[in-house]
Amino acid sequence: MKQDRNNTLFLVEVAVFSALAFLFDFISGLLSLKIWPQGGSISFAMVPIFLMAFRWGIKGGVLSGFLLGLLQFILGFSQIYSPLQGIIDYGIAFSVLGLAGIFAVQVKNALVDHKKGKWMTYAVIGVFIGSILRYFCHVTAGIVFFGEYAPAGQPVAIYSLIYNGTYMLPSFIVSAIIVILVIGATPKKMIRGQ
C-alpha cells in the first residue's frame, strides 16, 4: 500500500513539476524578446527539474526533464530543424538536467543533519552538472546544425560556445539561487521523497 502511494506521488509530482517547468520556460521565452534567434533564453525552467532530481533522484529528474522537452515539441514551442537536432536540443538536453540527482542522497542527508553549507554545496554542484551537460548538448547541436550562423571567419565551435553560453550561464546562476532558496524554505519536503 505504501509503495503504491509512493509510486502515485512520484508520477503526480513528475507531471506537475514538468508542467511547471514548461510554464516557466514559456514565460521566459515570451520575456526574452527573441534575443537569441536560433533559440535559447535566460530561464528558470530548470528549477522544477532540479527539485525533482534532488527529491526523487536521477529517475525523477531525468523523467521530468524528458517530459519538459517532449512538451515543448508537442505544443510547438521548439525550434526543430531536423530530427537529430530535435533529439539533442530537446530530448537529451533537458533529460540530462536530471543527472543532478546523483547528489540527491547527499543533499537529503545534509538536510537531516542540519548541515546547511553541505547541502547547499551539493545542490549547487548538482545544478552545475545538470546545466553544463545541457550546455554541451546545445553546443554540439549548434556546431552540427547551426554553423551557418557563425560570423564570417569565426570558428563554428567558438560561435556555438559563446552563443549558448550567453543564456546558459545566467540560467545556471538563476537556477542555483532559486533551488537554494526553495530547498532552504522547505527542507522537510525534500527529505520525504524516495
Q: Quick: pLDDT tens for 105-129.
A: 999 999 999 999 999 999 999 999 9
Predicted pLDDT of residue 34: 61
Is the pLDDT at 73 greater than 50? The verdict is yes
Mean pLDDT of the chain: 90
Neighbours of 66 (CB within 10 A): 21
Is the pLDDT at 194 greater than 50? The verdict is no
Check residue 96 and report its DSSP letter.
G
% of the chain surpassing 70 pLDDT: 93
Give tens-digit pLDDT for 82-98.
899 999 999 999 999 99
Rounded Cα–Cα distance for residues 43 and 191 (Å): 26
Is the pLDDT at 42 greater than 80? The verdict is no
Q: pTM for this structure?
A: 0.91
In the chain, what are the domain boundaries? 2-191
Is the pLDDT at 55 greater than 60? The verdict is yes
For domain 2-191, the question of CATH label 3.40.50.1820 is answered with no
